[in-house]
Amino acid sequence: MPEGIEFETQSQIDNFQDNYPGCTEIEGDVYIEGGGITNLNGLSVLTAVQGYLFISYNEILTELSGLNNLFSVGQSLSITHNNSLTNLSGLDNLTSIGGNLSIGENFALTNLSGLENLTFIGGDLNIRNDHALTNLTGLNNLYSLGEDLLINNNSLLTSLTGLDALASVGGNIRIEST
């Protein structure tokens, strides 16, 4: 799928394998944005997204199961405004992100478990406005960050535990609360 795909309904996700048989990689961008999306199970065949992956504005999505076979995102991964998401379980096999990882304004997100196999981010790591986030556990194996580390306005986050393996940051480190 060189042009990418947008998922706005649960039905589109459920029917993905029927509508695109044999599709395991998406060359373009993937948008998962829909108020009625409850699960991502229909996407379980995906192993790579070569473009951007946006998971945003899914009010009742509680987990990312269905993305369990995803190993890489070629550009950036953005997980924002998913008010029922408590952790990132479902991204358990993700090892690399070519661009940025942006996590923000997921009001129920308490930890980053599910990212335990992530070792490389080519761009920024930006974690912002996740007011229930208490720790960074899940990033335990993140070894290399190509650009900036930005942690901003996560009111319950009191420690950077979880970033212990981070050996290389290619840009600035900015940690602040507003």
**Tens of pLDDT, residues 32-77:** 999 899 999 999 999 999 999 999 999 999 999 999 999 999 999 9
Q: What is the pLDDT along the chain (178 residues), one digit of tens a residue?
A: 778 999 999 999 999 999 999 999 999 999 999 989 999 999 999 999 999 999 999 999 999 999 999 999 999 999 999 999 999 999 999 999 999 999 999 999 999 999 999 999 999 999 999 999 999 999 999 999 999 999 999 999 988 999 999 999 999 999 998 5
Q: What percent of the chain has pLDDT over 90?
A: 96
75 CB-near residues (< 8 Å, 6+ apart): 29, 50, 51, 52, 53, 98, 99
Q: Tell me the pLDDT of the chain averaged across its residues.
A: 96
Give the CA diameter of the chain: 47
C-alpha–C-alpha distance, residues 100 and 166, integer Å: 16
